[in-house]
Chains A and B, each alone.
Chain A
Amino acid sequence: MTTAVTQPDMTREEVDLPTLPQGIGHLTRGWGVFVAIALAVVGFGTYAFMYQQSEGEIVTGLRNVGTMGGAPWGLYVAFLVYFVGVSFAGITIAALIRLFNLQALRPLARMAELLTVVSLVLASIAILADLGQPLRGIVNLFRYARPQSPFFGTFVLVISGYLFASLVYLYLGSRRDAAIMARESTRLQGLHSFVAAGYTDTPAERDRHERATFWLALAILPMLIVAHSTLGFVFGLQIGRPGWFSALQAPAFVVLAGVSGIGLLIVLAAVVRSVCDERDTLDEYVFAWLGRFLAVLTIAYLYFVLTELLTSTYAAGGREADVTDAILTGRYAWIFWGSTILFVVSLAGLLTQLLTKRWNIGTLVAIGIAVNLAAIGKRFLIVVPSQTDGMLLPYETGSYTPTWVEYGVVLGLIALGALAIAVFMKLIPIVELPEEVEADAS
């Protein structure tokens, strides 16, 4: 890449714009519109949250179980679990690429890591939105947190450990590209130099980077299993909640996390492919690989669904049966069957493409969205029915309907995630710059 020569009568803008790849530093109208909409939704979500903070969570649809006939955990917790689930994608792809040297998938690495970091941040905010005393919660968790509570693992390992480790992984992986960017004297040069932090693309440095990220990936992988399992344990260890108390919760959490994460990654990859014109790097091989991985995970997850279904309809009595009935044929049936149909149809689409060896990116995007909608439905089904229909003492059946406050906060969080990704894409290359480009800063 050569540096453009500045003519006296050329403005800086005319020199800057074409020199950075993937549209970095170049704000298009489409991008501006997208960011404006995202900001508006984030603003609305913030307003909803502030309203909730001033009046209390009474403005939500959440209520106490038992005599109040409600559900104290609802949309916020369902989405918290969903966001942690989505974070599965990043580290899995990164780890697989590193540990099994899957070079053809390298273009996915950074966006997958970004998805992990962003979704974990959203999960943390979702927890705070759910707490009755969020500020006190931040202080008291650092001050008093008890390891015996499953929340300790969620707090320490997931939010602190997993998030920080992924941030480190994302950062270290971005240094080389930032160094390449920093060679051009653009408005972002300061930022790029800062991120690059003196990276020189010497063989020694590359070697060090390979080694560091290898061990990092190796360390993050077990934390991945523990993180998702801990979240499963939050539910699975509760003897008092029919429908929750099950050894299957932890592994089912991990598998559904994979499904939603890979699904969302497919969508993000497709967006990046068209917006950044990366049709050569994000080619059919990459999408086919993602599609195959998603197919395997979906089959595994449907197996879990089947097992839970058979177990609860065959043997369970009393309140367990009440919860199962509510989910299969009662108030929540539309969510259960809707999600199941979405999974089955998605799997059919994936298997068709797999067997015909013809992968269509548009279909894959639709499948990615479908499995995520289904995953959100399943997360909701994990959280709510055991509260409204699973009371062990003879209370009346409860009900739960989210209010605009909850929808507002959740939509605001999703918009925040989209916003973060959009901004990142304008600062750092979302697809790793190819190997041939020397990042020598001499």
Chain B
Amino acid sequence: MTKYTMVVDLDRCQGCRACMEACKIENNTTEGVFWMYVFRLEEGEYPNTQQTYLPRPCQHCDNAPCVKVCPVGARYKREDGLVLTDFDRCIGCRYCELACPYGVNYFNWGKPEKQHYGEWDDPDLQAVTGGANPPWSNPDLARPHGDEQRMVAGGGHHKGVMEKCTFCVHLVERGELPACVVTCPVQALRFGNTDDPETPVSRFIREHGHFRLLDELGTEPRVVYVGGQPPSDEVHEIELVHAGVER
């Protein structure tokens, strides 16, 4: 039985946010949507400040509150540990977003063609791109995945449905690694099967002190943090992040 876990090495993370970019490119997310997000945190008063970085993908919890509350079963947990969203079944009630303590859910408020970066119907841009597939739509991802054959990968970011980090299910099913893991320049992210105690990821977790975010809530996240501390009450983001969207 395969059960995937992601390990984040906070000693290595330098806050470059290349993983955020990679996730965006791989999954074609629209403006202000960060399936992978990296907190840039600071604590203390200048000159005695300390900066830390905290990557926050979806935690793919074993006891996921979002799965429990989904009224139609669009958000579900797979036996391999992934928590996915069937965007064909989702009715857009946003209950999963309210239930999640980590804030990893993104609802598509507007139409993808209006919520994407750049003016896609600009004639200069059209001349350069030559009628290529628009950036929010990725036909490679718009197929059913898994034994259950449901529409869960990046897809078209349709108006009125939820989405979040999928651990790049479309790559993982091919035996590849998620985009963020592959892209990280300092290998701060690891991903693998922890059901087998002898895989590199399992051994890495065993050999290092580790914690999980908001462990006390009982969500049993499948993302393990190594080499750092859970964020304290005193930390705050270095710069204001209100990645909002307009119509």
Answer yes or no: A and B touching, Cβ < 8 Å.
yes
Q: Across the interface, which residues of A come within 8 angstroms of B102, CB to CB?
A: 240, 392-393
Asked if B125 is an interface residue, CB under 8 A from chain A, the answer is: no
0/1 string, A305-325, CB within 8 A of B gives 1: 000000000000110000000
Compute how far the CA of A55 lies from the CA of B160 in the bound complex, rounded to whole angstroms. 10
Contact pick for B160, options A56, A145, A146, CB 8 Å: A56
Interface residues in A35-86 (C-beta closer than 8 Å to B): 55-60, 62-70, 72-73
User: Distance (Å) between the CB of B90 and the closest chain A CB?
Assistant: 7
Known contacts A67-B34, A393-B213; A137/B91 CB under 8 A: yes
- The residue in chain B whose Cβ has the minimal distance to the Cβ of A127 is B93
Known contacts A58-B245, A70-B244, A72-B107; A133/B95 CB under 8 A: no
User: Distance (Å) between the CB of B108 and the closest chain A CB?
Assistant: 7
Compute how far the CA of A234 lies from the CA of B71 in the bound complex, rounded to whole angstroms. 11
Q: Across the interface, which residues of B come within 8 angstroms of A64, CB to CB?
A: 32-33, 97, 105-107, 109
Using a Cβ–Cβ cut-off of 8 Å, how many residues does chain A contribute to the interface with B? 51
B244 engages A240 (CB within 8 Å): no
Q: Across the interface, which residues of B come within 8 angstroms of A348, CB to CB?
A: none
Among B77-85, B170-178, B197-205, B228-236, the one that faces the other chain is B228-236
Interface size bucket, B side?
35 or more
Asked if A136 is an interface residue, CB under 8 A from chain B, the answer is: yes
Q: Across the interface, which residues of B come within 8 angstroms of A133, CB to CB?
A: 90-92, 160-161
A393 engages B39 (CB within 8 Å): yes
Q: Across the interface, which residues of B come within 8 angstroms of A391, CB to CB?
A: 103
User: Distance (Å) between the CB of A35 and the closest chain B CB?
Assistant: 34
Among B62-70, B127-135, B137-145, the one that faces the other chain is B62-70
Asked if A356 is an interface residue, CB under 8 A from chain B, the answer is: no
- By secondary structure, the B interface counts as loop
Among A150-158, A216-224, A261-269, the one that faces the other chain is A150-158
B65 engages A155 (CB within 8 Å): no
Asked if B242 is an interface residue, CB under 8 A from chain A, the answer is: yes
Asked if A28 is an interface residue, CB under 8 A from chain B, the answer is: no
Q: Across the interface, which residues of B come within 8 angstroms of A141, CB to CB?
A: 71-72, 91
Count of A-B residue pairs with CB < 8 Å: 172
A318 engages B101 (CB within 8 Å): no
Asked if A362 is an interface residue, CB under 8 A from chain B, the answer is: no
B161 engages A395 (CB within 8 Å): no
A149 engages B161 (CB within 8 Å): no
Compute how far the CA of A134 lies from the CA of B101 in the bound complex, rounded to whole angstroms. 26
Compute how far the CA of A66 lies from the CA of B98 in the bound complex, rounded to whole angstroms. 11
- The residue in chain A whose Cβ has the minimal distance to the Cβ of B115 is A58
Compute how far the CA of A394 lies from the CA of B162 in the bound complex, rounded to whole angstroms. 22
Interface residues in A117-161 (C-beta closer than 8 Å to B): 130-134, 136-137, 140-141, 143-146, 148-152, 155
B161 engages A132 (CB within 8 Å): yes
Asked if A229 is an interface residue, CB under 8 A from chain B, the answer is: no
A58 engages B109 (CB within 8 Å): yes
Compute how far the CA of A318 lies from the CA of B92 in the bound complex, rounded to whole angstroms. 30
Q: Across the interface, which residues of B come within 8 angstroms of A131, CB to CB?
A: 91-93, 160
0/1 string, A376-397, CB within 8 A of B gives 1: 0000000000010001111110
- The residue in chain A whose Cβ has the minimal distance to the Cβ of B231 is A394
Ordered nearest first, which 8 A-B pairs have the shortest CB separation?
Answer: A132-B92, A66-B103, A240-B101, A132-B160, A58-B110, A137-B91, A151-B71, A58-B109
18 A-B pairs in the complex with CB atoms less than 8 angstroms apart: A55-B247, A58-B115, A58-B246, A58-B247, A62-B109, A63-B245, A64-B32, A65-B103, A69-B242, A73-B94, A132-B91, A132-B162, A140-B72, A146-B70, A392-B217, A393-B39, A394-B236, A396-B240
Task: Please list the residues of chain B having a beta carbon within 8 angstroms of any beta carbon in chain A.
Answer: 32-34, 37, 39, 41, 56, 65, 68-73, 89-95, 97-111, 114-115, 159-162, 213-214, 217-219, 231, 233, 235-237, 240-247
Task: Please list the residues of chain A having a beta carbon within 8 angstroms of any beta carbon in chain B.
Answer: 55-60, 62-70, 72-73, 130-134, 136-137, 140-141, 143-146, 148-152, 155, 234, 238-241, 317-318, 387, 391-396, 398
